[in-house]
Amino acid sequence: MELANIEKLLEKYLNATTTIAEENRLKDYFLSDDVAPHLQEYQVLFGYFSTSKDEKFTKTIQLKSQKLSWKWLSVAASIVLLISVYSGFQINENITERNRAEAEKAYEESKMYFSMVSVNLNKGNDAIAQLQHFEKTTNKVFK
């Protein structure tokens, strides 16, 4: 009679319809030494549950933050600025009146390219701001 009752409880457990009291009864049965041979495969499952609830994770979790190095970004921007100023100076010295239209076109294209770079850098700054907000939020959650 007891074995039939345990099998019914086990069926309810596998269908996720047991109560806490019924689950405790199953746990007590499977942690005892007199488990029916055809039910011994569930003994490992309930044994794991009873030992794993006492385990605690003691290591600290290191979250890698990928912060953009603003120092290198400013150095790169300075180099681009110096090269563009130097090349602009060289171009202006060598331009004659008939090449003035080509120079104006090159200037407008450069402005357009720098504008596109500026837009993309601003998008990157927005993304970094969102990531920093996310990092602050996750730090609050994990503290």
pLDDT tens by residue, 88-113: 777 766 666 667 778 788 899 989 98
| pLDDT class of 69 with cuts at 50, 70, 90 | low
Q: Are residues 92 and 135 in the same domain?
A: yes
- Compute the C-alpha angle 69/82/77, nearest 5°: 20
For the segment 122-143, the average pLDDT, to the nearest whole number, is 80
Those residues with Cβ within 8 angstroms of residue 84's Cβ, 6 or more apart along the chain or in another chain = 110, 114
Q: Are residues 136 and 92 in the same domain?
A: yes
Domain hosting 8: range is 2-52
For the segment 24-53, the average pLDDT, to the nearest whole number, is 79
Taking the alpha carbons at both ends of the chain, their separation in whole angstroms is 52
| CA dist., res. 44 & res. 55, Å (int) | 17
pTM: 0.38
> What pLDDT does residue 92 have?
67
Q: Are residues 16 and 75 in the same domain?
A: no
| Selected residue with higher pLDDT from 79 and 143 | 79
- The count of domains in the chain is 2
CB distance 86 to 70 below 8 Å: no
**Is residue 120 in a domain?**
yes
- Compute the C-alpha angle 115/73/130, nearest 5°: 80
**Is residue 59 in a domain?**
no
**Is residue 106 in a domain?**
yes
Query: What would you report as the CA-atom Rg of the chain, rounded to the nearest whole angstrom?
Result: 35
Q: Are residues 77 and 48 in the same domain?
A: no
**Is residue 57 in a domain?**
no
